[in-house]
Amino acid sequence: MRIQEWPSAERPREKLLARGATTLSDAELLALILGSGVRGHDAVGTARRLLNEHGPLHALLEQPPARLLRMRGIGKARACALKAALELAARSQMAELERGSAVTDPPSAGRYLAQKLRGRPHEVFAALFLNSRHGVIGYEELFQGTVDGAEVHPREVVRQALQHNAAAVIVGHNHPSGNAEPSPADRAVTQRLKQALALIDVRLLDHFVIGDGKPVSMAMRGWI
């Protein structure tokens, strides 16, 4: 049965218009981006298959375009639409942070860093530089490493903080393995960063570790 033959209240487009996007499942939202299915499957069925084979949702969306193009049901137009949707979400999150108020909510910064760093094939260490009101004044990817580590130099973080005239910093890095549990090395570099930044009167507000699930906040763990 084609989606057009479904009861009106169950069609993804009508459901979104009547009840809002939050009422749709991952497959239904993905189906709206795909627009149509493949032979023998409607858009929702195609979306469900893609999620079953390549999901969860964030794992599918964060695939590089070349890999998306190899998936049945995703051509150039759909691959571009998926990557554009992900980038729009990241830019929307950044716009929210730039307004300042969102930075007082740690999960907002964690979500933004996750959108930037999750799915990278190697470790990337990044920083959000904040003004005295905790509004974002800059985002920098400072260090890149291997699949299991990145060397972090506190003096470079200090240099960038001075260059941005920052009053506070939030840092984050990804674990390509998907396990977001901070390592002893992660905790040690956090303390080194906190001490180095304190010498120039800049506060380290948080250090997020990005994996497959929710970002882990070291501040929430009481480690900052």
CATH assignment at residue 171 = 3.40.140.10
**Is residue 3 scored above 90 in pLDDT?**
no
Q: Are both 116 and 198 inside the same structural domain?
A: yes
**Is residue 182 scored above 80 in pLDDT?**
yes
| Range(s) of the domain holding residue 179 | 100-217
Q: Cα separation of 5 and 220, whole Å? A: 49
Residue 67: CB partners within 8 Å, gap ≥ 6? none
Tell me, yes or no, whether 161 lies in a domain.
yes
Residue 177: CB partners within 8 Å, gap ≥ 6? 147, 148, 211
Flag the least confident range among 56-65, 158-167, 199-208: 56-65
Tell me, yes or no, whether 95 lies in a domain.
no
**Is residue 195 scored above 80 in pLDDT?**
yes
Q: Cα separation of 101 and 136, whole Å? A: 10
Q: What is the mean pLDDT of residues 129-136?
A: 88
Q: Are both 64 and 28 inside the same structural domain?
A: yes
Tell me, yes or no, whether 94 lies in a domain.
no
Residue after which a domain boundary falls, among 89, 113, 144: 89
Q: What is the tally of structural domains in the chain?
A: 2
Residue after which a domain boundary falls, among 89, 115, 133: 89
The model's pLDDT over 29-76, given as tens digits with 9 standing for 90+, comes to: 999 999 888 888 889 999 999 999 988 887 788 788 888 999 998 999
72, 52 Cβ separation under 8 angstroms: no
State the pLDDT confidence band at 120, using cuts at 50, 70 and 90.
confident
Residue after which a domain boundary falls, among 89, 118, 138: 89
Mean pLDDT of the chain: 88
Token duo for residue 54: 């390549």
Alpha helices (H) along the chain: 12-19, 26-34, 43-54, 57-61, 65-68, 76-98, 106-117, 154-164, 184-198
Q: What is the mean pLDDT of residues 161-179?
A: 95
State the pLDDT confidence band at 140, using cuts at 50, 70 and 90.
very high
Residue 221: CB partners within 8 Å, gap ≥ 6? 182
With DSSP H G I counted as helix, E B as strand and the rest as coil, what are the percentages for the chain, rounded to 5? 50, 15, 35
Tell me, yes or no, whether 78 lies in a domain.
yes
Bridge partners (DSSP) of residue 208 are 172, 217
Q: What is the mean pLDDT of residues 3-11?
A: 79
Q: What is the pLDDT of residue 60?
A: 86
Instruction: Please state whether 65 falls in left (phi above 0), alpha (psi between -120 and 50) or beta.
Output: alpha
Q: Are both 115 and 178 inside the same structural domain?
A: yes
Q: What is the mean pLDDT of residues 208-213?
A: 90
Neighbours of 102 (CB within 10 A): 21
**Burial (Cβ within 10 Å: 0-12, 13-18, ≥19) of residue 57:** middle
**Is residue 101 scored above 60 in pLDDT?**
no
122, 143 Cβ separation under 8 angstroms: no
State the pLDDT confidence band at 104, using cuts at 50, 70 and 90.
low
Residue closest to 26 by CA, chosen among 58, 65, 72: 58
